[in-house]
Structure 1
Amino acid sequence: MPQSLFLTYISEFMITRRYAKRTIETYIYWIKKYILFHNKKHPSELGNQEVEYFLTYLSSHSNVAPGTQAIALNALVFLYKEIIQAPLSLNLDFNKSSRQAKLPTVLIPEEVTALLNAVTAQYSLMTKLMYGSGLRLMETLRMRIQDIDFDYLCLLVWQSKSNKNRRVTLAKELVEPLKQQLTVCKQFYELDIKNKDYQGVWLPHALAKKYPTAAKEFGWHYLFPSSRLSRDPHANNVTRRHHIDERSLQRAVKRAAKRAGIHKSVSCHTLRHSFATHLLQRGCDIRTVQEQLGHVDIRTTQIYTHVIQAGANGVRSPLSDL
């Protein structure tokens, strides 16, 4: 179904202001939902009350998670501030979602071993980094060559969730595989740099402006480059080499879990959950785990303490004493 002219305008507005592709897609999704909820009325004809009705509906009828409702609110705040130019009230009155967050799925060490052994060679290093360093999916794929610090065995993660920067541990077992991956990156780089149409790797706008030659420097290129060149819609369709598509890695992990005979619901994020839980089981301080994961709030990290407790809330079943 073709996108309306209004939604197309919003997309182009966000592209010219350098919003991330994922943010654009998410905001367009919720703005479209909002318009359809109000029988395709133009948002300029709607306001605070209609936004409150929509957000209350998401909580009361769709039973969305608090984080999902917050994303929908952010999209509508953007819509009215930047597009309609009639900012919403700071005191919106709507039913806030109270749905409990699910406990994370965690693999035991034997399951992690089986999963990593079942992953195809192309995705092996990526999955080992997600488990070995507690990286999110997109943090792994957006890793740049210069973000690896072999001397101090760490990785630098820039502008991740909540715009936080952090250092995470790097398993010494991954040093050689990473150096082999750098050889692959160098081959792509030498091929690309000879291409007269190649405009270098994508950089955030501020960096591209501050360092105009950085886009063609080897260190700024992605650690896991795509196998093909592509056009960058954010920069007049110039030729670049992006990182691999996240869906291919997600599918690879799902297939590996099936081959390994793991019957839990496994995703890329499961490896991050397992990393945190296994650190705590080994006696690592929860503040250290919080720093490794890049959590703003310690309460987010504390969810892993529930996973490692013996039974529910540490209660021993009476059946165990029979």
Structure 2
Amino acid sequence: MDGQGVGTPVAPIQIKRGHAGRLIVLVPYPPERVAKIKTVAGRWWHPKEKYWTVPDTDGTLRQLLTLFAGEPVEVDPPLRPASSTHGVPVDRLTVPGDHPLLEQVRLAARTRHLSRHTEQAYCHWIKRIMSFHHLRPVADMGEPDSGRFLSSVATASHVSASTQNQPLNALLLLDHDVLEKKIGLIEGVVRAKRAKRLPVVLTKETVSRLLGCLSNTPRLMAMLMDGGGFRPMECCRLRVKDLDLAHNQLLVRGGKGDKDRYTILPTAARQPLVHHLQRVRSQHEEDLRQGFGRVALPFALERKYPNAGKEWGWQWVFPASSHYSDRITGERRHHHLHGSVRQKAIKEARLKAGIAKPASGHTLRYSFATHLLEDGYDIRTVQELLGHTDVRTTMIYPHVLNRGGKGVRSPADALGERLSPSQL
């Protein structure tokens, strides 16, 4: 009989420590074993030595033991993990960022034109799913496996409703667009209903105190968010060509939902913005003299207009203080100011001003909407300036108009007018 007959012992798989942070894996045939090890990220075949090497990490070793479960595997004693993998913390089982599955997820997210932050969140959850199941191949996981992970997120992690829905959305993207398999109703798992929360809003006097404790670029950005209703990242991504100083308006491109809209340029911010642009332009001209001065362009515009990235109109209004190297071309470029710089400055200003409310960049946007309604502007105008698709989203702001409690005058106020100060 050709090949291995019935009862012929199968040669064991051997895992040994190699050099330069690698593990040596000897995988005798049959070919099914070779197909399994080819699913391990970072594996490498050495034809001269006739063995494979993989990254020397605890997560990779556990993945190998899972892949070859039920087969004879010999592991060097110093490498042997604990006999049970139950209860292993997620951060002990690592998934490399260049895992082939994650690259497919990124490609699927970009094909669907999802935002970069959504793409990063989905990759994060898929890595956690793989770690939760001890790095088993995702294609082998069924609906019960997905249900166990989603239930653990809902019950053990105590996350908000929106965070609880993120891994479910990531699983749907993975199954539909990457693995191309139908996933039915996951038993015991439903979409969490988001709680209705009212936004934190500052009074005009409180906003003035906050702005008084800011300076330079963070102060100008805070003025635009409070005076124009920008989302924090919309403010960071402003380009010079989107400023219309003649008409005191700004164009927000690619806002939430990939929508464009016009909003207000506050008169108080106009002159500080002009001075700021003069400094930015001087720095841009200096960068051009040194061979830099290029910024990234959206979509395929860089191929269509090769020199547009160096033009003044495409520059960031709020550029970062340092350059970065493009991972594809290696060219040094300018990125916009990172959101954490603005966020840290606002937090420090809030503490300095003695403001008890947890104010942030979004708080200034909420305050902008509420102050417009206080000044008598209609809800539809506020909706357009904020970029809300549905007016019901904008309807959360009239809750602080003039008086609390939907503008209702408390009966206790009328009672207080009839009583003397001594009776109060």
Shorter-chain TM-score category?
0.7 to 0.9
The equivalent of 2:301 in structure 1 is 207
1:124-203 alignment to 2 at 5 Å?
A: 124-196=219-291, 198=292, 200-203=294-297
- Contact conserved, 2:229 with 2:368, CA < 8 A, in 1? yes
Judge conservation of contact 1:77–1:88 (CA < 8 Å) in 2. Answer: no
Once the two structures are TM-superposed, the CA of residue 10 in structure 1 deviates from its matched residue by 5.0
CA RMSD of aligned residues (A): 2.7
Aligned to 2:320: 226
Q: Which runs of 5+ in 2 are unaligned?
A: 1-90, 417-424
Partners of 2:97 and 2:347 lie apart in 1 by: 37
Amino acid at match of 2:378: D
Percent identity of equivalent pairs: 38
Can you list the C-alpha shifts for 1:190-215, whole angstroms capped at 9, x where unaligned?
Answer: 1221233x371011122223322211
Residues 263, 159 of structure 1: CA spacing in aligned structure 2 closer, same or farther, 3 A cutoff?
same
Could you tell me which residue of structure 2 aligns to residue 293 of structure 1? 386
Partner secondary structure for residue 143 of structure 1: coil
Is the contact made by 1:145 and 1:218 (CA closer than 8 Å) also made in structure 2? yes
For 2:284, give the aligned amino acid: Y
Which residue of 127, 132, 157 corresponds with 1:32? 127
Q: Which has the higher strand share?
A: 2
Deviation for aligned residue 1:91? 5.8
Q: Determine if contact 2:398/2:406 at 8 Å carries over to the other structure.
A: no
Cα offset for 1:262? Answer: 0.6
Report matched runs for 1:22-61 at 5 Å: 22-59=117-154
One-letter code of the match for 2:391?
A: I
Secondary structure of the 1:212 match is: coil
Question: Matches of 1:176 and 1:31 in 2, distance apart?
Answer: 48
Segments of structure 1 that go 5 or more residues without pairing to the other structure are: none
Helix, strand or coil: the match of 2:321? coil
Q: Within 1, Cα distance between the matches of 2:138 and 2:205?
A: 53
Looking at structure 2, the residues matched to 280 and 261 of structure 1 have their Cα atoms a distance apart, in angstroms, of 26
**Residues 225, 364 of structure 2: 8 Å contact kept:** yes
Distance, in Å, in 2 between the alignment partners of 1:307 and 1:95 is: 34
> CA distance change for structure 1 residues 183 and 210 in 2, over 3 Å: closer, same or farther?
same
- State whether residues 60 and 95 of structure 1, in contact with CA within 8 Å, keep that contact through their aligned partners in structure 2: no
Shift of residue 290 of structure 1? 0.9
Q: How many residues align?
A: 319
Residue 101 of structure 1 corresponds to 196
* Alignment-mate amino acid for residue 288 of structure 1: T
1:255-294 to 2 correspondences below 5 Å: 255-294=348-387
> TM-score scaled by structure 1?
0.88
Given that 1:7 and 1:28 are in contact with CA atoms closer than 8 Å, whether structure 2 keeps it comes out as: no
Q: Distance in 1 between matches of 2:265 and 2:225?
A: 10
Aligned to 2:341: 248
C-alpha distance in 2, partners of 1:10/1:199?
A: 36
**SS of corresponding position for 2:121:** helix
Which region of structure 1 is more displaced relative to structure 2, 267-276 or 198-207?
Answer: 198-207
- Higher percent of residues as helix: 1
Q: CA deviation at 1:316?
A: 4.0
8 Å CA contact 1:158–1:164 kept in 2: the answer is yes
Return 19-28 or 260-269, whichever deviates more.
19-28
Letter in 1 for 2:322: R
